[in-house]
Structure 1
Amino acid sequence: MNQAHATIKVSVILPVYNHARWVQQAIASVLAQSFTSFELIIIDDASIDTSWQVIQSVCAINPAARIRCLRHRTNQGAPATINEGLQLAYGEYLSILNSDDVWEAGRLQRLVRLADSQGVDFISTDVAVLDADSNPKEQAEPHWVAWFEGLKQDYAVHADTKATLLRGNFLITTSNFFFHRRVYEQVGQFAELRYVHDYEYALRVVAAGLHVQFLSGEKLLGYRLHDTNTIREKPLAAIEENMQLLLRWLPLLSAPLAGLSAQLQDLYRYTCEEWLTLVHQRLLAREQELLPLIRDRDAWITERDQLIRDLQQHVAEQRQWLADRDGWIRERDAWIVQRDGWLVERDTLIQQQVAALAARDQWVADRDGWIRERDVLIQQLQQQQHVLLHSRAFRLGQALLNPFRRCKQWLRGGELCLKS
């Protein structure tokens, strides 16, 4: 171990898998510790969300921090990831924080001082239950809280970690594990168990006779309960793995089995009753989510039915309009027939009028020709008259006839006198 590694008091292993929503908060809770002689080993177990990008961004803005970031190519599971981190650790003390949990800022300071002053090998603390949004969740998880409070009360009676562990895993999670390197060297690695690897490791620690202490009432860990907790992915499978673990431990136990009997009864009751209650609660929660959708659907159906009624009314009106239109079309067609007859009569009359106009135009043309001929003849006669009136023969004749005209007038005058 070089000089830099010798200054590391605590190694913090932070396994990550698909916790992009919370991993930044988990890392920040480690970096915010009042105790600073630590290294942080972050191992992303092949997350398929953006956890790795979040990890890299946090490391980029904390270049001076003792952070080592690793990433698996394939998912290996929580136990294997924790074991890898433990193998890479240099610290005198080893601690684990899951990527969806958080620490109080004074956690490491408190645990290091206690372990150094009293030679404690393995320490866990009380926990505060959080929801997905980091809000207190005690009211939302009454069954879980009642179970945990029962375990703490059992520990308060006798302060026997082994007896209470047989009653149930009151250490809750690997995020609550703080232990000396000698524990890891003596007990070894975590077992490849999907759901109860933390419980199995705690049982091995107490079975090894190591000095274990639980700090009741000191809530230095924020334990997040959410729908994607590993223990909740298949609750019945988790119970089965827990019961198989206890059955394997039965031959190794020399302590009174009252606590173990109580836990088995709890597991049975949880399987038969509390699990059904939880399912019922989730169904109710789902119902609460669905009720607005149902109301929206019913409102939509009502609106749709009204639209259908309006459409039917519109169709009826449209049909009546079509019937009226068809009557109007029939009347129009009859009128068109009458109109066509009238048009034929009109065209015949127009043709007759055109023929009459043509005949009139011909008569007018003939008349105009006759008038022109007459006008020419009149002009000729007028010219002849003018020539005759101004001729010598006419004047001579007039002169010869004038005595006879006067005589005639005289004779006429005498006859008039005789008659009078």
Structure 2
Amino acid sequence: MITKTFKSESTIQTLQLVQQELGADAIVVSMREVPAGPIWNPWKKSAVEVVAVSPNDEPQVRKPQPPMQMPPSLEVAEEIPEIEWDIPAKKKTAKLPPPIKLNLNPLSGQPAPVTETVRMTEPTAPSNDRYSPPALKKIQQQLTQQGVESSLIERLMELSAETLSPSTLADVEASKRSIVQLMGAELRVQKGAGAFVSNNVVAVVGASGSGKTSVIAKLALFFRQGLHKSVTWVCADTVRTGAIAEAKAYTSALGLDLKLVYTPQDLKEVFNGEQANDLFLVDTPGYNPCNEKQMIELGALISEMPSRCTYLVAPATTKEADLHQLSASLGVFNIDGLIITKLDETYTFGGIYNFARKSNTPLAYFTSGRETSRNLETADPMRLVSALFGKEWNK
């Protein structure tokens, strides 16, 4: 290994000297600016001093190369690297910069460009591993299996780890109760659901097979017994096979008036001569959210009910993506509340929870089963969140 010191008026010339003397594999140990010329000359120029090391025992002698010729139109601004020296108070030992590997591979007939490769150690990425109590890990696993949104789970775990006491974090049930409260606070609830109705016309909308007719029957009995309303069943679902027969069976069993509607004009005539205590429950046709024609027909029907309370019927068994598509297509109708059906037909409630939270639609009622006289309850967010932790709906 050979160590030499080179000094010239510019950085490029000095590095060319290093290449000529020590070869292309030379390693620059230090580089600094030093004065040049007689010491008595106050206008003396500065020079660049380079200390380089050759890894080979014998230097590779290269032929001297002609000085670099630059085009007349090209101006090169030479920058002298700034070197900072760290000199402690007691020991005047300079810390040298990291070694610089010279990669000098001149092309034939062209000046060799200087490429400097600085040897440095890659910074170690910070670790994201955080200690999580066993109780929170178990809760996190349950919520993940239920399909709750991952970003919400992460935020809940961080918040719980920072705010809950050590004794609470050591108890799975205590931690679970706290997280249930946090998740329940993420959901909206329709004001006055079950206590009063804001309008005397209540319309339910939803996709085919969502359980709208069963919901109408449950609401009719609930409003008549609880709110002492005179209920009229308005059946606008006259296209589906068996829809009229099903409506007649329900109204006959409940002792309700039944009105069949085939066109928007028929619906308008139903409301003529209404009384103050009358309540009209309108069962709209089930529709396909991907069918534009059916959407137009539904819009024409709903437009005849300017003063209404509109409920979206959404089964808990529907995929979350389909629920969002359903909500997007019906958003123009100003949905007042959400009625979740078929809660007893699934063990996974993450999709319906995510939908209620993201869509910001107020929860109105929960239904389960086909029995008319039971299984309709006013929406309770804590009830839905508890189902995420394995609490069966009918128990």
Fold-level similarity (TM above 0.5): no
Structure (1/2) with the larger helix percentage: 1
Structure (1/2) with the larger strand percentage: 2
Normalised TM-score (structure 1): 0.23
